[in-house]
Chains A and B, each alone.
Chain A
Amino acid sequence: QSALTQPASMSESPGQSITISCTGTRIDLDDYNSVSWYQQHPGKAPKLIIYDVNNRPSGVSARFSASKSGSTASLTISGLQAEDEADYFCCSYTSSGTVVFGGGTKLTVL
């Protein structure tokens, strides 16, 4: 099962917005609305920030939003803050009932 494709690293200044892409194939992203996104700070467990393409769990900042078009999902973080500096992973179910993660994007807030 190939991982979903994400940019390895991105950087942006505080207060700006950034969009992280996640590209898959028809068998994972295209046919399903089960995309989720996770934030991971160094040495910590991942944290769910988006589920079912564009839903935020309770307590997650509204600065996080997401969408999907065809085989590409996107996570947008607006009003970047220093605490947003972390690794971000997309995740999806596949047609065979398994789960696949993106390779991860290291976000630096300059």
Chain B
Amino acid sequence: QMQLVQSGPEVKRPGTSVKVSCEASGFSFVSSAVQWVRQARGQGLEWIGRIAVGSGDTGFAQKFQERVTITRDMATSTVYLDLSSLRSEDTAVYFCAAIRWGAVSGMDVWGQGTTVTVSS
């Protein structure tokens, strides 16, 4: 079945970086765009950015542009989110989600979420 499996929870100090992985299976990885979305406890969804897997083209929300990197590894069908200069406000559950080109133009495959806690 189609799925995205994310890496485990992270606890980080302020000012450091975190790298979260998202491994795809069960669908055409190269024909997808993987989004990263985060959700602080009790809050709404916030889009961070995306990567078009085939081209490697990326796009980011303005507030994250200076400190986020999204990459992909075609050999392992994995997308990575790298967020630097962490602060307490970055504490949230981070989700990856895929838009499958030629299927439905919405995020119809989601990862289970990765909890990132930023605390001194």
What residues make up the interface of A, taking CB atoms closer than 8 Å to B? 1, 3, 34, 36, 38, 40, 45-48, 50-52, 55, 57, 89, 91, 97-104
Contact = CB atoms under 8 A, between A and B. Distances in A.
B106 A104 contact: no
B105 A103 contact: no
How many B residues touch the partner, as a band? 20 to 34
Interface of B: 35, 37, 44-47, 50, 59-63, 95, 97, 104-108, 110-113
B106 A101 contact: no
Given A51-B104, A101-B46, 8 more contacts: A45-B111, A46-B95, A52-B106, A91-B107, A97-B59, A98-B60, A101-B44, A103-B44
Nearest to B44: A104
Contacts of A51: 104-106, 108
